[in-house]
Structure 1
Amino acid sequence: MTVAASTSASLLLAVPAAVVGAACMGLASAAQERATKEVAVTRILDPGLLRGLVRRPLWLIGMVATGAGLALQLIALAFAPLLVVQPLLITSLIFAGVFSARLERRAPDAVMVVGSLTCVAGLASFLLLARPSGDADLLATTPQPFPLAIALILLTLLGLGVSVVAHGSVRVLGLAVATGVLYGMTAGLMKIVAVQARADLTEPFRNWALYLVCLVGPLGFLLSQNTFQQGRFLTPALAVITALDPLVGVGIGVWWMGETANTSPAALAGEAVAGAVIIVGIVLLSGRATKLSRQSGELLGKEPREQGAGRLGGDG
C-alpha cells in the first residue's frame, strides 16, 4: 500500500470517528448541563458537585456519552493529526444545540443556530486554509514547547481568576476559557497516548503522558460541570469551550509535536479572518443568550409562582 493510500485509509477511519465522537460529546454536554441545574450550586472545583450529580440519571447518560466520545476521539487521534481531528470537534456545538432542544421539548432558537453555524464555518475555514500535515507522536525535546506551555498555564489561571472575582456571564466566560484550555491540553496528551497504544497497548502505562491526562482531564471535566451549572444557557459557554479546545490542540500539534500547517502570508491572513468569524459566532451566541435570559426573567416575574418555578428558556 502506498503512503497516499495509507493516509487516505487512515482519514476514512479518523474523520467519521471524530464527527461521531463530537455528536456524543454534544449529547453529553446537553445532558450534563441540564442535570447540573438540578443540584445545589457549589464552589468552583468542589468535588461535592459530582456527588450530587451521580444520583441524576440524565447526568449518568451524559457520562456514558462522554466515554463513547472520548473513545472515538482516541481512535481518530491514533490515525490522524491533531490538526485534522481537533477542528472537527467544533461540530459538537451543533449537536449540543439539537440535543438540548430535544431534552427541553422546544424548537431550536434560530439565532442560536446561526451563531453555532458561524462558529463551525470559522473552524472549517481554518482547517482548509491551514492544510494540516504530519503525525508526530512525541513531544519536542527542544525549548520550543515552553512559550506555549507558559501561555496556556497563564490563560488557565486568568480564566480561573476571572471566575472567582466576577459574576454572571463574565464569570461563566472565565470558567469556559479555563475549561477549553484544559480540554485542548488533554487532547494533545491523548494524541501521544493513542499513538503509543496503537504500537503497543502496554506502552502508555510506561510513560508519563497517560498519568498527566488522568490529572488534567478530570480537572477540565469538573470545571466544565461548574461552567454548565453557572451559565443560564448552554450554547455560549460551550461555544467558547469547543472553540478553544481545537485551537489549543492545533497549537500543541504545531508547537509541541512537530505537525505542520500552511504559514504563507495569504494563509495566515485567511486563518486570522477565520478566527474572527469564530469570535463573531461566539459574540452572536452570547448576545442572544443575554436577550433570552432577560426575556425569561421578565416572563418569570409575570407568571404565577407555580408556573415560573421550572427552568425556562434555553439555547439552540
Structure 2
Amino acid sequence: MASAGTSLLLAVPAAVAGAASMGLASAAQARATKEVEVSRILDPGLLRGLAHRPLWLIGMVATGAGLALQLVALAYAPLLVVQPLLITSLIFAGAFSARLERRSLDGVMVVGSLICIAGLSVFLMLARPSGNADDFAEGTKPLPLVIVLGLLALIALVVSTLSHGSARVLGLAVATGVLYGVTAGLMKIVAGQARSGLGEPFQSWTLYVVCVVGPMGFLLSQNTFQQGRFLTPALAVITALDPLVGVAIGVWWMGETANTAPLALAGEGMAGALIIVGIVLLSSRASHLARAQSTSDELLDGNASERAV
C-alpha cells in the first residue's frame, strides 16, 4: 500500500488536473451553447443542436477525463483533501472562458471565485462529513428532505421562467445544483447496490430516479450556460450547491455524520455566508460587465450608422 506522502503525490496532481479538465469542459460547453438557437428550458432539442458542435464535443471529452482524474484522486486521498482541490475548477473555468471569448480575465471575477472556493472549502472542513454508507439508513425518513429539495428546485425554475437576465440565470443554476447534488447522492447508493450484484440496481427505484434526474440536471446546466453572458456566476452556484446537497443526502438519508458542535455550526454558517458573498459579487460584476458591453455595442452601432450616412 502506498504511504501517505506517496498517496498525496498521486492524488493532488490528479485532483488539480481533474479540476482543470472540468473547468475546460464547462467553458467549452458554455461557449458552444451560444452558437445554437436559444431554446426553452428542458428542451432536448438543445442537445441535438449541440451534438454537431465540435467545441461541445471537446467539452464532453474533457468531462470524461475530469471524472476519471477525480476517481484517481479519491482513490488515494480522503474526500476532504480532494474536494477543495476539485472546487478550483471554478477558477479554471473562468480562465478558459475568457480565453475562448478572447477577453482578459476580470480581477473582480477572480476574487469572487476565490471567495466561493474558500467558503465551500471551509464549510467542508468544518462539517467533516464522514461515513461510507452506500444505502439508506434504517428508519430514515427521506420525505422532509425530498420536500425541501423539490421545493427549492421548483421555486428556482419558476423564478427562471418569470425573470430575465441575472435572476433567470441564477434560478437555472440553483435548480441545476440541486439536481446534480441529488444525482451524486443517489449514485452512491446505486454503486453500493451494484457491488452486491450487477442486477441489483435494476430492482430498486433509485437507479430509475437517477436516470431521470441526472439527464434533467445536465440539460438544465446547458440551459444555464446558454442564458448567462458570463459563465462564472452560474457555475459558482452549481459548484456550491452540488456538494452541499450531497452532504445533506449523506447525513439525512444515509446515516453519515457531520460535525454539529456549536462552534463548528457557527463556523459553517459563516462559511455559508462567505459563499453567498462570493456569488453576489460575481453576479453583480457580471451584470455590470454585461451593461458596459451593451453600451459599448450601442455606441459602435451608432458610430457605424453615422459613417454610413
**TM range, normalised to the smaller chain?**
0.7 to 0.9
Structure 1 residue 49, shift from structure 2 partner: 0.8
1:262 is matched with 259
Structure 1 residue 150, shift from structure 2 partner: 1.1
Give the aligned residue type for 1:182: L
Once structures 1 and 2 are overlaid, which stretch shifts more, 123-132 or 221-230?
A: 123-132
Give the aligned residue type for 1:54: A
Instruction: Give the direction of change, closer, same or farther, for the CA distance of 1:152–1:223 in structure 2 (3 Å limit).
Output: same
Superposed CA RMSD = 2.9
1:217 is matched with 214
Give yes or no for contact 1:78–1:194 (8 Å, CA) kept in 2. Answer: no
CA distance, structure 1, for counterparts of residue 224 and residue 141 of structure 2? 32
Instruction: Give the direction of change, closer, same or farther, for the CA distance of 1:148–1:16 in structure 2 (3 Å limit).
Output: farther
Give yes or no for contact 1:86–1:250 (8 Å, CA) kept in 2. Answer: no
2:294 to 277, 294, 297: 297
CA distance, structure 1, for counterparts of residue 108 and residue 291 of structure 2? 16
2:272 is matched with 275
CA distance, structure 2, for counterparts of residue 11 and residue 33 of structure 1? 32
Which segments of 5 or more consecutive residues in structure 2 lack a partner in the other structure? 305-309
2:238 is matched with 241
2:109 to 99, 107, 112: 112
1:56 is matched with 53
- Identity in percent: 76
SS in 2 for 1:138: coil
| TM-score, with length taken from structure 1 | 0.85
Structure 1 residue 213, shift from structure 2 partner: 1.9
CA distance, structure 1, for counterparts of residue 160 and residue 184 of structure 2? 23
Structure 1 residue 118, shift from structure 2 partner: 0.4
2:307 is matched with none
Give the aligned residue type for 2:20: A
2:121 to 110, 124, 130: 124
Q: Does 1:161 align with 2:154?
A: no
Once structures 1 and 2 are overlaid, which stretch shifts more, 198-207 or 120-129?
A: 198-207
| TM-score, with length taken from structure 2 | 0.87
Instruction: Give the direction of change, closer, same or farther, for the CA distance of 1:97–1:133 in structure 2 (3 Å limit).
Output: same
CA distance, structure 1, for counterparts of residue 253 and residue 71 of structure 2? 18
Listed one character per residue, the Cα deviations across residues 170-209 of structure 1 (whole Å, up to 9, x for unaligned) are 1111111100100000111122233445666665455443
Give the aligned residue type for 2:54: P
Q: Does 1:67 align with 2:64?
A: yes
1:252 is matched with 249
Once structures 1 and 2 are overlaid, which stretch shifts more, 281-290 or 190-199?
A: 190-199
CA distance, structure 1, for counterparts of residue 7 and residue 138 of structure 2? 27
Give the aligned residue type for 2:103: R
Give yes or no for contact 1:119–1:281 (8 Å, CA) kept in 2. Answer: yes
Instruction: Give the direction of change, closer, same or farther, for the CA distance of 1:87–1:188 in structure 2 (3 Å limit).
Output: farther
Instruction: Give the direction of change, closer, same or farther, for the CA distance of 1:256–1:19 in structure 2 (3 Å limit).
Output: farther
Name the larger-Rg structure: 2
Q: How many residues align?
A: 304
Structure 1 residue 268, shift from structure 2 partner: 0.2
Instruction: Give the direction of change, closer, same or farther, for the CA distance of 1:133–1:241 in structure 2 (3 Å limit).
Output: same
CA distance, structure 2, for counterparts of residue 36 and residue 306 of structure 1? 30
Give yes or no for contact 1:89–1:246 (8 Å, CA) kept in 2. Answer: no
